Amino acid sequence: MPQQNFDELKQIIEINSWTKNKAGVDENGEIFASWMHALGYKEEVYHRESIGNHLHFISKHKEGKKLLLLGHLDTVFPPDTFENFKEDEEWIYGPGVCDMKGGNYVALEALRHTHEKFGTIENIDFLLVSDEETGSDDSKYLSGELGKAYDYCMVFEAAGVKDEVVIGRKGVGTFFVDIVGKAAHAGNHYTAGADANLEAAQKLMALVALTNLEKQTTVNVGKISGGIGANTISPKAQLTFELRYTVADERDRVLKAVDEIVAENYVEGTSSTLSGGIQRDVMQPSDEQSEFVKRINKLCNIELATEKRGGVSDANVVSAQGVATLDGWGPFGDGDHTVHERASKQSFKERIALVSEILEHFSEGGFEN
């Protein structure tokens, strides 16, 4: 990979792209857009007021299969926390170098190779969203709707330690249970109160009991709040919990049970309401995805290593639309979400070469049958 390419990567890595920094995320997007325009792409901008704009780069379309490349523009680092780029012989260091400005750059370089070989790019589009690191609460609706138009999707989160691509990711949901009780003096009128904290404790135990480790389903009550003070029966409480699951049946089982737990009053005089929901549904391996892997293996004469991950990405969103989706096409790196984030130079080189070959075969019609 020539030095000038690292200079381009340096340019966008040194822009603070914290999800809540709209100006920085948009600047990152504008620079990326200039590179995409040079390849003949048209740009559809989905303007947003409080987060960065989502960008959909559209190639020339013709009859046949369509491929979506997918990435995100934002990082997790607020201004003045981690904004430096550096490199040594083996590694590049910086915010987003593997999650996922580096992955976006792999896609860009592969598109450049494709454009250089064919003179134009057809049926290969690129979507960059701006809020993935905070759960894609806005962009997931856009990604899901746009994703329906594609046959294949490649997502450019970081590769696995052995260059694995990702074929499965857990689904995730975040929920809140708000409990209303009745305040009373804990000394003089103990029985006149309805203890919201005690109700929360009973519900916590019931929620956690829904965990099934054999099926990799977890329910974690990560935050509890409630009460006024030691001398007052608690008039309110809140539980914040997360659900993660690997199959849709488990999602349905837990959601039904959660509704029952919220509806039941363990402490007389309390009432509870549930809010929140599924953020990203499960990414399950599918026959279409398996065929996608087999086709890549055959055309590129390789044996892709694959893995499943407990974390989520926007691959969950597009996969839920029935699109054959593979994640983990970015470079291998580690330390993501920390000030030690880095990515392997060798992995950049290998990922760009492999993705370029896949796009070449796609452009030649290798995925049509």
The residue behind tokens 């006024």 is 228
Cβ-based neighbour number of residue 201 at 10 Å: 17
d(CA 23, CA 50): 10
Pairing of strands 306-309, 86-87: unpaired
Amino acid identity of 367? F
Amino acid identity of 220? N
DSSP 3-state of 58: strand
Q: Chain-centre distance of CA 177, in angstroms?
A: 25
**Residue 133 bears catalytic tag:** no
Query: Which of 329, 343, 357 has the alpha carbon at shortest distance from 9?
Result: 343
Per-residue b/e over 138-151, b at no fewer than 16 CB within 10 Å?
bbbebbbebbeebb
CB 85 within 8 A of CB 14: yes
Phi, psi of 218 (to 5 degrees): -130, 140
Name, in order, each residue with C-beta under 8 angstroms of 128's C-beta and a sequence gap of 6 or more: 29, 32, 54, 55, 56, 57, 70, 71, 72, 73, 104
Phi, psi of 90 (to 5 degrees): -110, -25
d(CA 358, CA 366): 9
Amino acid identity of 227? G
CB 253 within 8 A of CB 275: no
Active-site option among 26, 74, 83, 195: 74
**Residue 74 bears catalytic tag:** yes
Q: Chain-centre distance of CA 332, in angstroms?
A: 17
Active-site option among 26, 125, 132, 133: 132
Query: Which of 217, 367, 343 has the alpha carbon at shortest distance from 288?
Result: 367
The residues annotated with a catalytic role in the active site are 74, 132
